[in-house]
């Protein structure tokens, strides 16, 4: 690790432990102690407080050393922080800091490599503390430039060649198939984190007759493509006012929100849905407390387990939830795993989660998701 990174690590540890603030009631330095006290020796209380300070400093030094070491590898160890800090309860499951772990953000990107991730060993969710990075400007003008090389292409030629964009196009075809679970024609649709609109493009061909298309997309370079598709770009605060929406899709966008935002985002999605509307979503299953993900994560700020997704959706008012794993043998269970799922213990290696959620209790349509194989390629002649 370079020397310039050391202050960032130190500041991170001090912010977590409160070490930068003078502890109340801690023994003063020897020079400030009354000479008479020095002769008689420190009182038991002062000696105990001094021992606690030395112990805390030793723990901080040990943690700093570990973090420096783990920066050099793709598979960082998981460091318990329960003895160092008292963190707020987990937003997802309510577990306390006794189940909390910290590890370096898995990235070599300069913007993200200095960040750290907190993880809850009870539900498997991990997150970057909010405020660690200003992402608003990044998503508006930088994200597409650094991660995509096609936003300068005119919309007409872009969609004429859309099938060449294999990963995104094939994913959109699969997700469009899930909308058949609605059981009737889709009239209104919202794409939450749409990018240039792959899903909207495919859905128009799978289900002609859509009357209104909406999209939430901070990347300004994508707006011209959404306009070309006839989609109205809205901001997150407007989502609830779009009620009633038949289908809300979120494809690999929830992981870009701060964890603190997600309960509100999901409540807004639920309130925007028609009475029989469905929320269709896909997220990477980056439960870093359980699996080895030697993969680029930036700019993700929340990392999901299946248990955490289920808890988040139900707490936001979704009564029926179905989740299907996307298998990927590249990400096996780590030997030092500290999260052991309760709902999906049989999954040994996953690459993502596909899900459908409804606000209708015991919704039979949601259970039908299991009939779809997430690995199945939609036949091109179906479009």
Residue found by looking up tokens 């102690």 in the block: 33
Of all residues in the chain, the percent with pLDDT exceeding 70 is 68
Task: Give the pLDDT score at 380.
Answer: 28
CATH topology assigned to domain 136-382: Rossmann fold (3.40.50)
What SS3 string covers 39-90? HHCCCHHHHHHHHHHHHHHHHHHHHHHHHHHHCCCCCCCCEECCCCCCCCCC
Task: Give the pLDDT score at 328.
Answer: 63
Render pLDDT for 299-344 as a digit per residue (tens, 0 to 9).
888 988 888 999 999 999 999 999 887 766 666 666 767 677 666 5
Task: Give the pLDDT score at 68.
Answer: 54
Lowest mean pLDDT among 58-72, 134-148, 261-275, 279-293: 58-72
Render pLDDT for 112-154 as a digit per residue (tens, 0 to 9).
777 788 888 888 888 888 776 777 777 877 777 777 777 778 8
φ, ψ (nearest 5 deg) of residue 210: -65, 130
Report which of 307, 315, 298 is spatially closest to residue 350, judged by C-alpha positions: 307
Task: Give the pLDDT score at 381.
Answer: 29
* Cα atoms in the 13 Å half-sphere on the side-chain side of 294: 12
Mean pLDDT over residues 346-372, rounded?
82
Whole-angstrom distance, CA of residue 74 vs CA of residue 103: 11
- Sign of the CA dihedral running 118, 120, 123, 129: negative
Nearby residues of 313 by Cβ (< 8 Å), 6 or more positions away: 266, 279, 321, 355, 357
Mean pLDDT over residues 263-279, rounded?
97
Whole-angstrom distance, CA of residue 19 vs CA of residue 10: 10
Task: Give the pLDDT score at 47.
Answer: 80
At 301 the three-state DSSP class reads coil
Task: Give the pLDDT score at 72.
Answer: 43
Task: Give the pLDDT score at 96.
Answer: 80
Q: Which residues of 9-39 are buried (b: 16+ CB within 10 A; e: fewer)?
A: beebbeebbebeeeeeeebeeeeeeeeeeee
Specify which of 20-29, 70-79, 289-298 reaches the highest per-range mean pLDDT: 289-298
Render pLDDT for 28-84 as a digit per residue (tens, 0 to 9).
444 444 555 444 566 788 888 888 778 777 767 766 665 555 444 434 455 555 544
Higher per-residue confidence, 52 vs 264: 264
206 pLDDT above the threshold of 60 = yes
Nearby residues of 137 by Cβ (< 8 Å), 6 or more positions away: none
Q: What is the pTM of this model?
A: 0.75
Mean model confidence pLDDT for the chain: 77
At 275 the three-state DSSP class reads strand
Domain boundaries, the chain: 1-68, 136-382
Facing residues of 279 across strands?
A: 248, 357
* Cα atoms in the 13 Å half-sphere on the side-chain side of 331: 22
Whole-angstrom distance, CA of residue 116 vs CA of residue 101: 10
Whole-angstrom distance, CA of residue 2 vs CA of residue 68: 9
Neighbours of 326 (CB within 10 A): 16
User: Cα(first)–Cα(last) distance of the chain, in Å?
Assistant: 52
Mean pLDDT over residues 182-208, rounded?
95
Higher per-residue confidence, 67 vs 26: 67
Of all residues in the chain, the percent with pLDDT exceeding 90 is 36
Task: Give the pLDDT score at 114.
Answer: 74
Report yes or no: 71 and 5 within 8 Å, Cβ to Cβ: yes
Mean pLDDT over residues 171-200, rounded?
94
Task: Give the pLDDT score at 81.
Answer: 57
* pLDDT band at residue 11 using 50, 70 and 90 as cut-offs: low
Bridge pairing between strands 302-303 and 126-127: antiparallel
Mean pLDDT over residues 14-39, rounded?
48
Whole-angstrom distance, CA of residue 283 vs CA of residue 87: 26
Mean pLDDT over residues 242-262, rounded?
95
Report yes or no: 101 and 127 within 8 Å, Cβ to Cβ: no
């Amino acid at each position: 690790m370079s020397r310039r990174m050391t202050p960032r690590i130190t500041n991170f540890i001090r912010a977590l432990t409160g070490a930068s603030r003078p502890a109340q009631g801690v023994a003063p330095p020897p020079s400030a102690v009354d000479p008479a006290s020095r002769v008689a020796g420190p009182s038991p209380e002062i000696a105990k407080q001094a021992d606690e300070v030395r112990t805390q400093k030793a723990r901080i030094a040990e943690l700093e050393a570990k973090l420096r070491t783990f920066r050099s590898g793709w598979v960082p160890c998981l460091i318990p922080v329960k003895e160092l800090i008292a963190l707020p309860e987990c937003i997802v499951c309510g577990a306390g800091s006794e189940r909390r772990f910290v590890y370096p953000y898995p990235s070599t990107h300069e913007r993200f490599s200095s960040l750290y991730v907190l993880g809850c060993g009870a539900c498997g969710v991990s997150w970057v503390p909010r405020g660690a990075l200003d992402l608003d400007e990044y998503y508006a003008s930088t994200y597409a430039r650094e991660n995509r090389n096609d936003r300068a292409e005119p919309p007409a030629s872009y969609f004429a060649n859309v099938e060449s964009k294999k990963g995104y196009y094939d994913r959109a075809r699969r997700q469009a198939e899930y909308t058949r679970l609605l059981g009737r024609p889709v009239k209104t649709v919202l794409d939450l984190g749409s990018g240039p609109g792959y899903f909207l493009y495919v859905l128009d061909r799978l289900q002609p007759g859509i009357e209104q298309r909406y999209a939430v997309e901070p990347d300004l370079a994508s707006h011209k493509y959404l306009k070309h598709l006839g989609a109205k770009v809205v901001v997150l605060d407007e989502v609830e006012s779009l009620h009633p929406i038949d289908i809300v899709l979120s494809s690999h966008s929830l992981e870009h929100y701060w964890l603190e935002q997600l309960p509100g985002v999901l409540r807004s999605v639920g309130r925007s849905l028609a009475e029989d509307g469905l929320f269709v979503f896909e997220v990477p299953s980056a439960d870093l407390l359980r699996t080895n993900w030697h993969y680029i994560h930036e700019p993700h700020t929340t990392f999901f387990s299946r248990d955490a997704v289920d808890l988040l959706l139900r707490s936001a008012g979704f009564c029926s939830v179905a989740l299907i794993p996307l298998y990927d043998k590249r990400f096996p269970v780590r030997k030092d795993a500290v999260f052991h799922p309760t709902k999906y213990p049989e999954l040994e290696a996953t690459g993502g989660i596909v899900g459908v959620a409804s606000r209708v209790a015991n919704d039979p349509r949601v259970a039908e998701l299991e009939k779809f194989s997430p690995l199945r390629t939609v036949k091109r002649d179906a479009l």
